[in-house]
Amino acid sequence: MLLAGSFACGGSTPTPPPAAAGPAIDPATAGSVAVVVNFEGPAPVPAMMRLDGDPKCVTENGGRDRADESILLGTGPALQNVFVYIKDEMSGHSFPIPTAPVVLDQDKCRYLPRVLGVRVGQPLTIRNSDPLLHNVRAEGAINQPFNMSTPVEGVSFNRTFATREVMVPVHCDVHAWMRAFIGVLEHPYFGTTGADGRVVLNNLPPGTYTIEAWHEVLGAKTQQVTVGAKESKDVSFTFARE
């Protein structure tokens, strides 16, 4: 921890504001929205990235090439790594800030997960699981940017974000292909699509919401949905390459 901190740039971590005051969600009336995200059209052929600029990355990956993962399909037409969230601020309710950290790992010369979400004020643990040097440059436009070195295997550090921002891009200056994106929200209604292309937003109070699906290459789309008491709604998004 001390070693990682000694390579820090960008100042100290801002103190986040306390959780907004307001009533908790009533489980007797809460509903849900199930979101599925698909890709339309032929599966894109990924570019191959050369890793031989760092022989240790070649060793960790078992080869000098790896497919680019910026557009990653799952089962059937499902599109992975889409950040799905309620765009509304949800300021009328109170959401306790989780104390358990969200983890962003550096493993085999990639960030895992590539797309993730964290609450305002929740710890984000960034860890190096590789036996080599990485660094973490987070370039928030609203939150304070930071640049931290993780020079050896097992080093980790924590950060928190002070305000909402979708998305905070992260990259490694040592390995240009390493990319991650962090969605920072003051409420818990978000998730990232996996191999099935699905995210379920549970425990929603009745109301009308704008849901956004964000992808690093294919852009963002929104839909509006109204959820009644104890109601479950289905929403689908389809992305295509221009």
Task: Report which secondary-structure segment, H or E, holds 58.
Answer: helix 55-61
Where are the extended beta strands (E) located within 56-145? 65-67, 83-86, 102-106, 111-112, 115-119, 124-128, 134-138
Q: What is the pLDDT of residues 226-235, one digit of tens each?
A: 999 999 999 9
Task: Report which secondary-structure segment, H or E, holds 237.
Answer: strand 232-240
Residue 218 to residue 240: CA distance in whole angstroms: 7
Which range of 23-27, 36-40, 91-95 scores highest in mean pLDDT? It is: 36-40
Q: What is the pLDDT of residues 183-242, one digit of tens each?
A: 999 999 999 999 999 999 999 999 999 999 999 999 999 999 999 999 999 999 999 987
* Domains held by the chain: number: 1
- The owner of tokens 């009308």 is 208
Please give the distance of CA 212 from its chain centroid, rounded to a whole number. Answer: 14
76 vs 192, higher pLDDT? 192
Most distant pair of Cα atoms in the chain: their distance: 57
**Secondary structure tally for the chain: helices H, strands E:** 2, 18
**Domain enclosing residue 73, as ranges:** 2-18+25-240
DSSP 8-state symbol, 233: E
Q: Tell me the residue length of the chain.
A: 242
CA-nearest of 138, 194, 136 to 167 is 138
Q: Is the pLDDT at 181 greater than 60, yes or no?
A: yes
Please give the distance of CA 131 from its chain centroid, rounded to a whole number. Answer: 24
CATH code at 153?
2.60.40.420
Characterize 209-228 residue by residue with b for buried, 16 or more Cβ atoms within 10 angstroms of its Cβ, and e for exposed: bebbbbbbebeeeeeebebe
pTM of the model: 0.89
